[in-house]
């Protein structure tokens, strides 16, 4: 099941639970604006190449729209729509003053040189500069983009509007990026996990974790969890998977993964089939890679008692039902991985203030937001007698609906 179908399904369930009328439901679903632009650049060999750039701006009832820009050859309009909508609910759950957006360029960044990527990014910015802005729509990095991409967007945008560091987040520190942004999603996963375990009278220390995905989010989560005394018994990434029932030594694994571009060949654990990673024996499973990895094929085999969704949309709705019958508690992506967008908000705030926070302040504020977020989700669960996923969705949808009505926008 693709992300759009699942997101719409969760949205509709939330609307029913909240008892919203059909006119309001319709106005909450329709995107505010969809932008599609042609980006033609000279390649390094002198030939011209054309690419399609787009931006879906879903909702701005609660503030400027926020969301990533991805460079990927298969940029599917439906998926982008789903991700823009998901950002609307995610920013509302996190209680930060944003709406949702998503965008990108249909290209394979691996096939382009750095100077071609720079030209492409600048042309794209020229085409959309009057449709994004500090108080309109604030892009961020996503698949295939990073701090350097944001630096080019900032520079190009500033040629039209004057120096505006707050127009994008995820920037290099030297251009107004925030300290702690790199670790933010992984650190948010730690705080979310702590909040959930606290509910059950447990702590991170002594729990056994399995982490699927060892990119930015997975590796930071692993590092921070092991520092808190959590035992990481298995890890996988695109190169392979390793297991050590006594706990993997994470600092050594980080060093190995950096040197060998992956976890494969690490000597502090036994190699296992990456396909079996999700069904390894553990207390807490953290999918931190792709969507749709937990499905009806493997849901019955999962041994974890808790699943923390660090990836976007890792659990299919069918798997959701199977797991909830088994009593597995799932902490949904819309809350669990919101640490990244929360620290993006802190970056934007610092840029507007023209005042840099130290890293301790960033991390303290993030913990406050994540802890309060969990409390808010739990209250919705109690009010509507539902699981954590629907608790988070009703919380997000309700906040956006209230803002929409208060602004007099409902149809």
DSSP string, 184-251: HHHHHHHHHHHHHHHHTT--STT-EEEEE--SHHHHHHHHHHHHTT-EEEEEEETTEEEE-TT---HH
| Distances in whole angstroms, Cα of residue 408 to Cα of each of 27, 53, 61, 384, 395 | 12, 33, 10, 26, 20
Which residue out of 102, 171, 231, 243 is catalytically annotated? 102
| Chain position carrying tokens 């909702």 | 59
Question: Distance between CA atoms of 74 and 68, rounded to whole angstroms?
Answer: 16
Task: Report the sign of the C-alpha dihedral through residues 162, 166, 168, 173, in that order.
Answer: positive
C-beta of residue 138 within 8 angstroms of C-beta of residue 66: yes
Q: Which of 99, 101, 118 is nearest to 39 (CA)?
A: 118
Catalytic annotation on 127? no
Q: What stretch of H or E contains 104?
A: strand 99-106
β-pairing, 270-272 vs 284-287, is unpaired
C-beta of residue 177 within 8 angstroms of C-beta of residue 148: no
Question: Distance between CA atoms of 289 and 302, rounded to whole angstroms?
Answer: 17
Question: Distance between CA atoms of 18 and 20, rounded to whole angstroms?
Answer: 6
C-beta of residue 278 within 8 angstroms of C-beta of residue 293: yes
* Enzyme catalytic residues: 102
């Amino acid at each position: 099941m693709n992300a759009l179908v699942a997101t719409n399904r969760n949205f509709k369930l939330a609307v029913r639970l909240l008892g919203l009328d059909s006119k309001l439901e319709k106005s909450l679903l329709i995107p505010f604006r969809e932008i599609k632009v042609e980006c033609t650049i000279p390649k390094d060999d002198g030939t011209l190449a054309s690419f399609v750039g787009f931006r879906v701006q879903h909702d701005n009832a609660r503030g400027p729209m926020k969301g990533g820009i991805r460079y990927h050859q298969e940029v599917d309009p439906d998926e982008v729509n789903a991700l823009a909508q998901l950002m609307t609910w995610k920013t509302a759950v996190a209680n930060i003053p944003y709406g949702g957006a998503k965008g990108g360029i249909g290209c394979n960044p691996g096939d382009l040189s750095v100077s071609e990527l720079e030209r492409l990014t600048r042309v794209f910015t020229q085409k959309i500069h009057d449709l994004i802005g500090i108080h309109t729509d604030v892009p961020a990095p996503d698949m295939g983009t990073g701090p350097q991409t944001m630096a080019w967007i900032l520079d190009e945008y500033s040629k039209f509007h004057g120096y505006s560091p707050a127009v994008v987040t995820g920037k290099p520190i030297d251009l107004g990026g925030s300290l702690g942004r790199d670790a933010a999603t992984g650190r948010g996963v730690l705080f979310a996990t702590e909040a959930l375990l606290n509910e059950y009278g447990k702590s991170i220390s002594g729990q056994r974790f399995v982490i699927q995905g060892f990119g930015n989010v997975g590796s930071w989560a692993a590092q921070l969890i092991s520092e808190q005394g959590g035992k990481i018994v298995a890890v996988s990434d695109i190169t392979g998977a390793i297991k050590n029932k006594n706990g993997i030594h994470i600092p050594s694994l980080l060093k190995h993964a950096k040197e060998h571009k992956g976890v494969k060949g690490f000597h502090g654990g036994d190699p296992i089939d990456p396909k079996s990673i999700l069904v390894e024996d553990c207390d807490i499973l953290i999918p931190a890679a792709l969507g749709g990895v937990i499905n009806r094929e493997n849901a019955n085999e999962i041994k974890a008692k808790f699943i923390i969704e660090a990836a976007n949309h890792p659990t299919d709705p069918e798997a959701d039902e199977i797991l909830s019958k088994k009593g597995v508690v799932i902490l949904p992506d819309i809350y669990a991985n919101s640490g990244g967008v929360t620290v993006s908000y802190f970056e934007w705030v610092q840029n507007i203030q023209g005042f840099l926070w130290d890293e301790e302040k960033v991390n303290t504020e993030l913990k406050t937001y994540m802890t309060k977020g969990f409390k808010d989700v739990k209250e919705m669960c109690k009010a509507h007698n539902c699981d954590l996923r629907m608790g988070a969705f009703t919380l997000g949808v309700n906040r956006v609906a209230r803002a929409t009505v208060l602004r007099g926008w409902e149809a």
